[in-house]
């Protein structure tokens, strides 16, 4: 079973702080990695994709990938209450033509 | 541009009834995915299609579930007969591997309640 693991949380951070969300995966050959944000009662929304080792920045979001350690993370700078949501990590496994495996998600709470 | 469209948004039915969920993918996308989400099991892939052809249905829980994609702009997920344990949110997603790699875009979901 090719797995994606996340801490379910909740991860609580004060407004303005950096939120760090982590994800590990078991398929060493995985090449594509995604972060989705899901508000309560809503559908998952793609916020970041990353394909190469290193950092990828988009506004307040930075995705970090370390294939050797099989680890992908999402940093949210200057966290806002509107960032409070569940963040899902997704990985495309080798040989599965566009099929993604999702983690169970980390619930983030940004407090005032 | 319209995103993935799903209908109905909410469905309440009684055990034993047939349920049909519908999905219209983003125009031009060549992959379509059906997921189920529950608190206990998270987001599960049920089945996915490439160019209207089912590729992997290993996630379909049992024979009561079936899915079709008669053309590039329409897919259905049918449950017959429905059971209370089928209560969940069902999402449809699509992707265009030619343009955007493996990024999947989700529809708003159908919340199914089986009494």
pLDDT value, residue A94? 74
Looking at every residue in chain A, the average pLDDT score rounds to 93
pLDDT value, residue A68? 94
Q: Could you report the per-residue pLDDT of A36-54, keeping only the tens digit for each?
A: 999 999 999 999 999 999 9
**A 14-53 near B (Cβ less than 8 A):** 32, 34, 36, 42-46, 49, 51
Chain B CA closest to residue A39: B108
Cβ–Cβ of A104/B42 closer than 8 Å?
yes
Q: Does B31 touch chain A (CB under 8 A)?
A: yes
DSSP string, A28-95: TT--EEEEEEE-TTS--EEEEEE-SSEEEEETTEEEEEETTTTEEEEEESS--GGG-EEEEEEEEPTT
Nearest to A96 by CA among A2, A4, A6: A2
Q: Could you report the per-residue pLDDT of A18-40, keeping only the tens digit for each?
A: 999 999 999 888 889 999 999 99
Residue A104 has pLDDT above 70, yes or no: yes
Cβ–Cβ of B42/A51 closer than 8 Å?
no
Cβ–Cβ of A100/B91 closer than 8 Å?
no
Q: Could you report the per-residue pLDDT of B16-73, keeping only the tens digit for each?
A: 999 999 999 999 999 999 999 999 889 999 999 999 999 999 999 889 999 999 999 9
Cβ proximity of B6 and B107 under 8 Å: yes
A103 vs B contacts (CB less than 8 Å)? 42
pLDDT value, residue B102? 79
């Amino acid at each position: 079973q090719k797995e994606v693991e996340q801490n379910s949380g909740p991860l609580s951070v004060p407004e303005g702080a950096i939120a760090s969300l982590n994800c590990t995966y078991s398929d060493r050959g995985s090449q594509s990695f995604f972060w989705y944000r899901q508000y309560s009662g809503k559908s998952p929304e793609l916020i970041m994709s990353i394909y190469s080792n290193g950092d990828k920045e988009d506004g307040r979001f930075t995705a970090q990938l370390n294939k050797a350690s099989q680890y992908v993370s999402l940093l949210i700078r200057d966290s806002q209450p509107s960032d409070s949501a569940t963040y899902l990590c997704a990985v495309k496994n080798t040989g599965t033509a566009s099929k993604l495996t999702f983690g169970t998600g980390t619930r983030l709470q940004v407090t005032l | 541009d319209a995103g993935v469209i799903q209908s109905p948004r909410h469905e309440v039915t009684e055990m034993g009834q047939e349920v049909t969920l519908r999905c219209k993918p983003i125009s031009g996308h060549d992959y379509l995915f059906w997921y189920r989400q529950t608190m206990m099991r998270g987001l599960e892939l049920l089945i996915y299609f490439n160019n209207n052809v089912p590729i992997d249905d290993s996630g379909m829980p049992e024979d009561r579930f079936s899915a079709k994609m008669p053309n590039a702009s329409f897919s259905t997920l049918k449950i017959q007969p429905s059971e209370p344990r089928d209560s969940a949110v069902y999402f449809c997603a699509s992707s265009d591997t030619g343009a955007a790699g493996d990024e999947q875009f989700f529809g708003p979901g159908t919340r199914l309640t089986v009494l």
